[in-house]
Amino acid sequence: NLPVKIKGDGAVTNALTLTLMMRVSALKLLGLGCAKVEYAKGKQRCRQEAEYLRHETVLRLQDQPTDSDGSVVLRPGNKYEYTFGFELPQQGQLVSSYKGKFGYVQYCVKALMERPQQPVLECKKCFEVEKPLDVNTPDLLSPAGGMKEKKVTCMFIPDGQVSLNAKIDRRGFCEGEEIYTVLYW
């Protein structure tokens, strides 16, 4: 398990704690962010992927003797910590995390422990990125509305026209804020 902490200044920091006996040749840390979308309707298919973040670091175990091949032997009963951290790009360069029916935007930290003549051990922990949004911009302070008309038939009653007209005083709202609508039908 890899508990990840995101500090308020946009830095990802943590320490990996290892307690098993093993030989470790390298420990790599990846900071990843990508968006994937997949949509299929009939014969029409859309599949795209975009990378927003990629940060790679090779971590060193301080004050531990290394073998001739550069690997470190981790012994049981001892606690070994690989401390790491990296800065997220400046505000506005990352999009917010999102998961929906047709795709997602996801960020994660992945640790890869390379061992001589053994499979790589992998550990992954996702984290959320929320891009701050100023709801006081002119575009989000402007009113919004829409109208929908529909022809309705009910059993043997003749067709009729139903109209709905809705309006809100602005487009941008904060979480938990009440949204008042004006409806005409």
**CA dihedral (12, 13, 14, 16) positive or negative:** positive
pLDDT of residue 27: 81
> Rounded CA gap, 109 and 124, in Å?
6
> Rounded CA gap, 149 and 147, in Å?
7
> Rounded CA gap, 91 and 132, in Å?
8
pLDDT of residue 41: 82
Q: Looking at domain 5-127, which of 2.20.28.270, 3.40.50.300, 2.60.40.640, 3.40.50.280 is its CATH number?
A: 2.60.40.640
Classify residue 68 as left (phi > 0), alpha (psi -120 to 50) or beta.
alpha
pLDDT of residue 15: 53
Residues 110 and 29 sit within 8 Å (Cβ to Cβ): yes
Distance of CA 88 to the CA centre of its chain: 12
Positions in the chain short of pLDDT 50: 1-10
> Rounded CA gap, 86 and 6, in Å?
10
Q: In terms of Cα–Cα distance, which of 85, 124, 89 is closest to 5?
A: 85
Q: In terms of Cα–Cα distance, which of 130, 62, 64 is closest to 96?
A: 130
Query: What percent of the chain has pLDDT above 90?
Result: 6
- The single-letter DSSP state of residue 26 is E
Residues 70 and 25 sit within 8 Å (Cβ to Cβ): yes
pLDDT of residue 2: 41
Question: What is the model's pTM?
Answer: 0.59
pLDDT of residue 7: 44
> Rounded CA gap, 164 and 180, in Å?
16
pLDDT of residue 62: 62
Q: What is the widest separation between alpha-carbon atoms in the chain?
A: 90
Provide the residue ranges of all domains of the chain, joining segments of one domain with +: 5-127, 138-184
